[in-house]
Protein backbone atom coordinates (compact mmCIF):
# COMPACT_ATOMS: atom_id res chain seq x y z
CA UNK A 1 0.00 0.00 0.00
CA UNK A 2 2.93 2.33 0.62
CA UNK A 3 4.31 1.60 -2.86
CA UNK A 4 0.90 2.39 -4.38
CA UNK A 5 0.68 5.73 -2.54
CA UNK A 6 -2.22 4.74 -0.31
CA UNK A 7 -0.18 4.90 2.90
CA UNK A 8 2.94 6.80 3.89
CA UNK A 9 5.48 5.95 6.56
CA UNK A 10 5.87 8.51 9.35
CA UNK A 11 9.63 7.78 9.52
CA UNK A 12 12.45 6.23 7.54
CA UNK A 13 12.53 2.92 9.44
CA UNK A 14 10.61 -0.07 8.02
CA UNK A 15 8.82 -0.40 11.38
CA UNK A 16 7.72 3.27 11.38
CA UNK A 17 3.99 3.87 11.79
CA UNK A 18 1.99 4.37 8.62
CA UNK A 19 -0.55 7.08 7.86
CA UNK A 20 -3.22 7.03 5.20
CA UNK A 21 -2.53 9.45 2.35
CA UNK A 22 -5.10 11.76 0.75
CA UNK A 23 -5.27 9.36 -2.19
CA UNK A 24 -5.74 6.41 0.17
CA UNK A 25 -8.49 8.26 2.02
CA UNK A 26 -10.24 9.04 -1.27
CA UNK A 27 -10.08 5.44 -2.49
CA UNK A 28 -11.32 4.17 0.89
CA UNK A 29 -14.29 6.57 0.77
CA UNK A 30 -15.13 5.36 -2.73
CA UNK A 31 -14.89 1.74 -1.64
CA UNK A 32 -17.30 2.35 1.22
CA UNK A 33 -19.67 4.29 -1.03
CA UNK A 34 -19.77 1.45 -3.54
CA UNK A 35 -20.13 -1.36 -1.03
CA UNK A 36 -23.50 -2.87 -1.89
CA UNK A 37 -23.69 -4.87 1.33
CA UNK A 38 -23.70 -1.72 3.44
CA UNK A 39 -26.31 -0.06 1.23
CA UNK A 40 -28.49 -3.17 1.21
CA UNK A 41 -28.45 -3.36 4.98
CA UNK A 42 -29.15 0.38 5.38
CA UNK A 43 -32.10 0.31 2.96
CA UNK A 44 -33.75 -2.86 4.25
CA UNK A 45 -37.46 -2.31 4.71
CA UNK A 46 -37.71 0.75 2.44
CA UNK A 47 -40.12 0.66 -0.51
CA UNK A 48 -38.59 1.29 -3.97
CA UNK A 49 -40.23 4.72 -4.22
CA UNK A 50 -38.84 5.65 -0.79
CA UNK A 51 -35.33 4.66 -1.93
CA UNK A 52 -35.72 6.80 -5.06
CA UNK A 53 -36.84 9.77 -2.97
CA UNK A 54 -33.96 9.28 -0.52
CA UNK A 55 -31.45 9.15 -3.39
CA UNK A 56 -32.84 12.38 -4.84
CA UNK A 57 -32.65 14.13 -1.46
CA UNK A 58 -29.11 12.90 -0.84
CA UNK A 59 -27.98 14.17 -4.26
CA UNK A 60 -29.41 17.60 -3.39
CA UNK A 61 -27.71 17.50 0.00
CA UNK A 62 -24.35 16.62 -1.58
CA UNK A 63 -24.79 19.33 -4.22
CA UNK A 64 -25.26 21.88 -1.43
CA UNK A 65 -22.08 20.91 0.42
CA UNK A 66 -18.70 22.55 0.22
CA UNK A 67 -17.14 22.17 -3.25
CA UNK A 68 -14.01 20.75 -1.58
CA UNK A 69 -15.90 17.66 -0.44
CA UNK A 70 -15.09 14.49 -2.38
CA UNK A 71 -17.56 14.10 -5.27
CA UNK A 72 -18.57 10.46 -4.91
CA UNK A 73 -20.91 10.69 -7.91
CA UNK A 74 -18.18 11.65 -10.38
CA UNK A 75 -15.00 10.04 -9.00
CA UNK A 76 -13.43 7.13 -10.82
CA UNK A 77 -12.42 3.97 -8.85
Distances (CA, A) of 76 to 26, 29, 42: 10, 12, 24
Beta-carbon contacts of 29 under 8 Å, excluding residues fewer than 6 positions away, are: 70, 72
Query: For residue 73, what pLDDT band results from cuts at 50, 70 and 90?
Result: low
CA distances from 16 to 1, 3, 28, 44 (A): 14, 15, 22, 43
Q: What is the pLDDT of residues 12-60, one digit of tens each?
A: 676 777 787 788 888 887 887 777 777 888 899 999 999 999 989 988 8
pTM attached to this predicted model = 0.43
Higher pLDDT residue, 24 or 76?
24
Between residues 66 and 65, the one the model is more confident about: 65
Amino acid sequence: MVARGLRARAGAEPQSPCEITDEGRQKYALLLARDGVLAERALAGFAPDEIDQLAMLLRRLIANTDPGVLDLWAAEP
